[in-house]
Structure 1
């Protein structure tokens, strides 16, 4: 239970009010269970990179809300399933990974999750399904697990239907069985009774719930949360550089802040509800702001989300840098910076910008120039052959702008 003001409410009500819940296997039972008991639940994380990204953020927020209500989360690292790859939402087979890379990625996840989840004194568990999947006997799996799965039913699952026309390997076809077995194993080891996941995992979650009920004759439950999408249905968290990572080395706190500062007006209220711990009365107040005032809500959202991921100090620095660049106030000290050497002077500006990563390529730079979207200092760049000369750098630096909102300081070492 959680206090909402002076009123004690179930976490189910909190998740429902904030807009997390997409589908449930047994709605009435789950509502009663979360109100009356303290349960162990799990969410799986696929360790295919050395950092979590914003797509995982929603799952961590759900875990945090659940833990605050007294329920125990298991963060399950898919060290075993990552050896195969989840076909859900993929048009092609995922590349194979080594066990060493998977283990290293899992360690990185642990550090990032600690900002949200309290792992002390067994309040949360971090487990790896490689601990049981890698030692399984294939014939035993077929006899004990495979017998409970209907191929006809599996083929109706969305995660497989999307792949059938282009080809689905038998390797990937086993993924649903492995995820279902994870739930069964966690139920046996930790009395875990509920699996949570994104709504694209619905078919896999149902499979696990059904397997436990068949094998153990015990209740088990599944709940999916809404995917983080924009108001027009696009997946959130994509930038021109790729995914929006939670690792500051991959996505700087400033870039992270700016992403949320620049989201569409229509998405502000939803993101405040899903990605912050602000009270819902405040979420509704901020979400109702119109026209220029919506920027107040966007600044609040950007600060709150950046604070959760990177801490208060980095969020404050990112906010100050944004205000300096866009509002003409504050210090540029915390704005994004790229250093160049004196050898780069008297060479083509586009070569320097491409070398330092300010632009993805010289062709992108030429396109920006054609569209009038590249500035050096206050001057629009009109010549693709322009040289970067020392006179352009005031006190050893100059501000480069791409489009309306992408600034980088170019600093001479």
Structure 2
């Protein structure tokens, strides 16, 4: 199966401006770009598909350019939005652009010493670099004159907003012109011939193709991938607590891993095809196993492993798997307060002064009472004597057991357990 046919088989081609795009890609290495909106200093799961598509292009021998919208981010893309976005200040945008560029290095090869079929390394470009110096008159003269207003009004992103109560500002209406010029500039400067994006970007992509033709008589191409949605039509990567981010400080490896482990059976097959580099044969085998025994969640575990390793590396995957195994009684050690708090978000917690761990230490009986796992010291003694008390999932052998700083499972937390499943946290403050 050739590269483009593989993209199609994985469900990664939604629209293409040329029915023979696959043949065109197979003819020689090409340069392709996709844009990323710097509304935060981290990408989220909704952006993951774009990075993975660019990664696939690079592995197939093409050169990817990731454009971070330092200029377009000042306006905000109206596509798919029912109201105007909050405008970001220049300092915030610069911080966000830097954050996204750092994250992209986990997915794309930027090493100038490495070539792919004679192509240069991946490139991160900020469109503020080539638009920031424009005057308004230059913009109108050089770009605006090439945009028929009737064509712009026909784009879905514009029509949907003009038909709603919120309407559309002139600022947002101009967004399409700026993004379209990105394609023209990249075509002239880097020989970029293909823009890829989510299906909601089709209007912006075709506007760029039209502008390249009008300004420089260039033939360039476009393709889109489908938006990453669940079978119920809602966007993937959204939870009750917010977005699933690619930054470990925003969404821990454990949270990220658990999100994919909990993927619905109806969605996991598509995610395996679109988001992982597993072979079609292995995915088909996982599909068959899921049909025979869905409760084993083998597909979900494989998906979670592949994506957590890709986004957070082997160390992040190991941490996530360790945290997951804790539910099945694995000993707890070497985690941080945040991860423990996420694992045991729904269990009670008590507090004691950290000084109690000094000297002779804190008696296990007092610890169980303080954590709320025993109503009284007598109740706590019975739990210990019957072998039902655990510290960090390690059984307590006797009533003489005391807790010291060595028993901290993280910076300030000790995990206590009574019986098989009754947990509590003891925070040493």
Please say whether Structure 1 and Structure 2 have the same fold, judged by a TM-score greater than 0.5.
Answer: yes
Query: CA 1:232/1:334 → structure 2, altered by over 3 Å: closer, same or farther?
Result: farther
State the Cα deviation string for residues 223-279 of structure 1 (Å, max 9, x = none): 101111001111000122211000000000000000000010111111111111111
Q: Moved runs in structure 1, 4+ residues, more than 4 A? A: 356-359, 393-396, 407-410
Query: CA 1:210/1:254 → structure 2, altered by over 3 Å: closer, same or farther?
Result: same
Aligned to 1:153: 151
Q: CA deviation at 1:409?
A: 5.2
Partner SS, residue 332 of structure 1: coil
Q: In the alignment, is residue 124 of structure 1 matched against residue 122 of structure 2? A: yes
Q: Is the 8 A contact 1:339 1:412 kept in 2?
A: no
Of 53, 65, 73, the residue aligned with 2:64 is 73
Q: In the alignment, is residue 13 of structure 1 matched against residue 20 of structure 2? A: no
Query: CA 1:214/1:260 → structure 2, altered by over 3 Å: closer, same or farther?
Result: same
RMSD: 2.6
State the Cα deviation string for residues 12-33 of structure 1 (Å, max 9, x = none): 11211111111011121x2112
Q: In the alignment, is residue 412 of structure 1 matched against residue 428 of structure 2? A: yes
Aligned to 1:367: none
Normalising by structure 2, we get a TM-score of 0.78
Query: CA 1:73/1:39 → structure 2, altered by over 3 Å: closer, same or farther?
Result: same
Aligned to 2:269: 269
Task: Please give the alpha-carbon distance, in whole angstroms, between the structure 2 residues aligned to 1:251 and 1:61.
Answer: 19
State the Cα deviation string for residues 41-62 of structure 1 (Å, max 9, x = none): 1111111101011111000110
Task: Please give the alpha-carbon distance, in whole angstroms, between the structure 2 residues aligned to 1:132 and 1:110.
Answer: 17
Q: CA deviation at 1:216?
A: 1.6
Task: Please give the alpha-carbon distance, in whole angstroms, between the structure 2 residues aligned to 1:69 and 1:111.
Answer: 23
Aligned to 1:99: 90
Task: Please give the alpha-carbon distance, in whole angstroms, between the structure 2 residues aligned to 1:160 and 1:141.
Answer: 20
**What is the number of equivalent residue pairs in this alignment?**
358
Partner SS, residue 41 of structure 1: strand
Aligned to 2:206: 206
Q: CA deviation at 1:152?
A: 2.1
Aligned to 1:392: 372
Aligned to 2:175: 175
Q: CA deviation at 1:132?
A: 1.3
Any gaps of 5 or more consecutive residues in structure 2? Answer: 113-119, 350-367, 374-390, 392-402, 404-412, 418-422
Q: Is the 8 A contact 2:46 2:236 kept in 1?
A: yes
Larger radius of gyration: 2
Any gaps of 5 or more consecutive residues in structure 1? Answer: 1-8, 341-352, 360-373, 378-387, 401-406
Q: Is the 8 A contact 1:336 1:408 kept in 2?
A: no
Normalising by structure 1, we get a TM-score of 0.81
Aligned to 1:333: 333
Query: CA 1:294/1:357 → structure 2, altered by over 3 Å: closer, same or farther?
Result: closer
Aligned to 1:297: 299
